[in-house]
């Protein structure tokens, strides 16, 4: 865990989190669960909230740089985004029953779907660390080509006597068993083969996308966690995981203590990957800038032309010298800019009182110097020398 005071002088990596909206006082309000934010900050990254507003999906490039993405809770994913030849077999009567049982969750939010699918696909394409919680895991699976159960009870045949995946009357206290697959990241994080997980969903992964491997199952066979084995190495900036349960909310009654240490470790390993990813990006940028600078200098190098015994006209020679001077001047300019930045950083560390004292001192020195110059100019010796110099020139 990172102490906040240690972060003040660092440029921290950015984790994008898409907000969820709710109706409050007849107006929509965007929000993100604070548990997620606390865990991201305490692990050493900055959460950047992407508002769920119309049109934001086409403006996501403005949120660059993106060092990680965390997608969490929300309404059902639009079935048209993953529907294929696999029919759900749900009748109109079934759909009506589902809507009555899960009225709030059945509301489709196409803008949120669009924003989150765009971010998930971006992470898949650019190897950006990604953690999906609950709906976020479903979005990840759909983005990678998988499908979902529109309703677990109806399609999987799950009942409350086997595995109850949601309990509206005991939202935070409800748990069900999850069997962890050995030698998976989840097994290493929780160090258990069976854990009791919370559950707030009526949908879930049906056909897991080909690139993913299951990490945990509910007793009814539903996948509770999955990851990409080719994209999981937090120290190297690789993390691609989806969890159907909510580790951030798995806490002892009336306490902030987690049910298992692995609950917090999930976020810590994710942020570890985010930090490593940012470092790789910075290093790659520096290498590319150095390469471009070297190429530029070589292109404008006078020695390169002379070594090739190229016969140059006077105009070409002058132009070559000008370009060489431009490169040299640019290097001097960059050094001055760097020095200026260092001076500004040093000044920023001073208190306002100290800066005020320094400003007063410089004003006083300016007045003293100005008065001294005036006295020098009015001295007889200075006047005589001016006359002598004038006489000599006239002579």
Alpha helices in 4-146 (DSSP H): 34-43, 92-101, 110-126, 135-143
Instruction: Choose the catalytic residue: 134, 176, 202, 224.
Output: 134
Q: Are 175 and 197 in contact (CB under 8 A)?
A: yes
- Three-state secondary structure call for residue 89: coil
Instruction: Choose the catalytic residue: 165, 248, 263, 269.
Output: 248
How many whole angstroms separate alpha carbon 207 and alpha carbon 184?
20
**Residue tagged 């992964």 (tokens):** 205
CB atoms within 10 A of CB 249: 19
Q: Are 237 and 270 in contact (CB under 8 A)?
A: no
| Helix H or strand E segment including 241 | strand 240-243
Is 263 among the catalytic positions? no
CA 381 to chain centre: 71
Is 382 among the catalytic positions? no
How many whole angstroms separate alpha carbon 241 and alpha carbon 265?
13
Q: Are 262 and 215 in contact (CB under 8 A)?
A: no
Which residue in 271, 276, 199 sits closest to 38, CA to CA? 271
- Three-state secondary structure call for residue 217: strand
Which residue in 139, 141, 153, 156 sits closest to 78, CA to CA? 139
Instruction: Choose the catalytic residue: 123, 202, 246, 263.
Output: 246
Is 248 among the catalytic positions? yes
Catalytic residues: 134, 246, 248
């Amino acid at each position: 865990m990172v102490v906040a005071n240690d972060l003040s002088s660092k440029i921290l990596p950015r984790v994008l989190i898409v907000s969820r909206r709710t109706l409050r006082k007849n107006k929509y309000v965007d929000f993100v669960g604070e548990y997620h934010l606390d865990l991201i900050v305490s692990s050493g990254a900055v959460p950047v909230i992407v508002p769920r507003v119309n049109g934001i999906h086409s403006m996501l490039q403005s949120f660059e740089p993106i060092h990680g993405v965390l997608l969490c809770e929300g309404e059902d994913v639009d079935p048209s985004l993953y529907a294929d030849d696999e029919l759900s077999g749900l009748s109109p009567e079934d759909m009506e029953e589902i809507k009555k049982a899960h009225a709030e969750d059945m509301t489709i939010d196409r803008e949120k779907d669009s924003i989150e699918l765009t971010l998930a696909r971006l992470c898949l394409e650019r190897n950006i660390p990604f953690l999906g919680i609950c709906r976020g895991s479903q979005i990840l699976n759909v983005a990678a080509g998988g499908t979902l159960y529109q309703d677990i009870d109806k399609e999987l045949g799950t009942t409350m006597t086997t595995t109850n995946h949601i309990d509206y009357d005991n939202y935070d206290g409800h748990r069900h068993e999850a069997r962890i697959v050995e030698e998976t990241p989840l097994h290493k994080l929780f160090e258990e083969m069976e854990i009791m997980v919370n559950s707030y969903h009526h949908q879930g992964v049906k056909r897991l996308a080909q690139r993913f491997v299951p990490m945990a199952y509910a007793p009814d066979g539903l996948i509770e966690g999955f990851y990409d084995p080719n994209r999981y190495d937090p120290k190297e900036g690789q993390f691609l995981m989806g969890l159907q349960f909510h580790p951030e909310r798995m806490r002892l009654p009336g306490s902030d203590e987690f049910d298992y240490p692995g609950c917090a470790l999930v976020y810590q390993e994710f942020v570890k990957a985010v930090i490593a990813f940012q470092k790789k990006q910075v290093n790659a940028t520096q290498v590319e800038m150095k390469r471009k600078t070297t190429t530029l200098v070589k292109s404008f190098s006078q020695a390169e032309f002379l070594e090739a015994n190229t016969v140059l006209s006077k105009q070409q020679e002058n132009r070559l010298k000008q370009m060489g001077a431009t490169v040299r001047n640019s290097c001097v300019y960059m050094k001055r800019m760097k020095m200026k930045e260092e001076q500004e950083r040093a000044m920023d560390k001073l208190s306002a009182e100290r800066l005020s004292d320094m400003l007063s001192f410089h004003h006083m020195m300016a007045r003293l110097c100005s008065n001294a110059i005036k006295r020098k100019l009015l001295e007889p010796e200075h006047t005589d020398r001016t006359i002598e110099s004038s006489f000599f020139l006239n002579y």
